[in-house]
Structure 1
Amino acid sequence: MLKGFKDFLLRGNVLDLAVAVVVGAAFTAIVTAFTSNIINPLIAAIGGSNELGWGVEIISGNPETFLNIGAVVTAIINFIIIAAVVYFVLIVPANAAKKKFVSEPEDKEASETDLLIQIRDILSANGSGADTGAHAKTLE
């Protein structure tokens, strides 16, 4: 039982996934720091002199009814930055490497004449069809 668990953990996909999670968490921390220290102040500055920035209190004096629109915009910017980096740093190079190193099988369709020649060869190899020689000349 422990050997099976060890084999599972040492399988390449699991190790790749673990590395991806760690790198993803570190990159998310960088993007979060960027948006909270650069994007959020810019959004608050656009919001005007209101101390809430793009936030709105639905009921005045009740902080439970605070809608923080700036936080939603920041989350969207976080997502766009992370998605762009993942796409351009991971997906594009992986697709390029796949095209370069993995050859796709050719989808070659045989013509009707090629199929008839193959059938003739199979029949002549089996010894059936005594008259295949005359027909072979007309096919080629």
Structure 2
Amino acid sequence: MNEKKVSVLEGFKTFLMRGNVIDLAVAVVIGAAFTQIVNSVVKGVISPLVGAFGTKDLTKYTYCLKSPCVTDPKTGEATSGIPIMWGSVLSATLTFLITATVVYFLMVLPMAKYLARRADREAAKEGAKEVVELTELEILKEIRDALVAQRGSGRDQ
């Protein structure tokens, strides 16, 4: 039973020491910080721009399913009616789209281009190695043919 505990702990240690776990943890922390930046851009820039046509707070955009919608000013909860808060959905959608756009154009696209260039360089190196190997093989064949020719000419005399 003690060996099983040791092997489980060893397996856990091996799992934690993989590079993937550390990379994932860093990505989560950076993603959380980046989300705060995007949220502040939506609240500080996008919402006021949308507010030029209505209210500055997107969460104020609501629709009442069963009229009249009355909310408690202290808690913000509906006391009557069924409010549909489509402004919150709009705000979250804008936040998502901005985040996805920035991640794609600043991280995914440049990394894809970098990896494609790297793959092209590797393919070119492999192609050059094949040419060199073929050239070396041809040279060795010529040397062999020359040695065979020398042996043949030595026997004729």
- Shared fold (TM-score, shorter chain, > 0.5): yes
Alignment match of 1:87 (pick from 82, 104, 108): 104
Change (3 A) 1:60 1:42: farther
**Counterparts in 2 of 1:87 and 1:25: CA distance versus 1, 3 Å:** same
Q: Percent identity?
A: 40
Question: Match of 1:35?
Answer: 42
**Does structure 1 conserve the Cα–Cα contact (< 8 Å) formed by 2:69 and 2:83?**
no
Superposed CA deviations along residues 78-135 of structure 1, whole A, max 9, x for unmatched, are: 11111111111221122122112234599xxxxxxxxxxxxxxxxxxxxxxxxxxxxx
1:60 has 2:68 as partner: yes
- The answer on 1:26 being equivalent to 2:33 is yes
- Distance (whole Å) between structure 2 residues aligned to residue 101 and residue 13 of structure 1: 21
1:62 partner amino acid: V
The CA distance in 2 between the partners of 1:40 and 1:66, in whole Å, is 21
Q: What CA distance in whole angstroms lies between the structure 1 residues aligned with 2:20 and 2:123? A: 23
CA distance in 2, matches of 1:2, 1:73: 47
1:9 to 16, 26, 30: 16
Runs (4+) off by over 6 Å: none
Instruction: Give RMSD over aligned pairs.
Output: 2.6
Q: Which segments of 5 or more consecutive residues in structure 2 lack a partner in the other structure?
A: 1-7, 72-77, 127-157
Contact between 1:35 and 1:78, CA under 8 Å: does it hold in 2?
A: yes
Name the aligned partner's letter for residue 102 of structure 2. Answer: V
Provide the C-alpha distance between the structure 1 equivalents of 2:93 and 2:69, rounded to a whole number of angstroms. Answer: 28
Aligned residues: 104
CA distance in 2, matches of 1:60, 1:42: 29
Residues 66, 45 of structure 1: CA spacing in aligned structure 2 closer, same or farther, 3 A cutoff?
farther
Paired letter, 1:91: V
Q: Which has the higher helix share?
A: 2
Gaps of 5+ in 1: 107-140
**Partners in 2 of 1:9 and 1:85 — Cα distance?**
30
TM-score by length of 2: 0.56
Counterpart in the other structure of 1:101:
118
Cα distance change on mapping 1:96 and 1:61 into 2, 3 Å: closer
AA aligned opposite 1:70: G
Distance across 1 between alignment mates of 2:84 and 2:25: 36
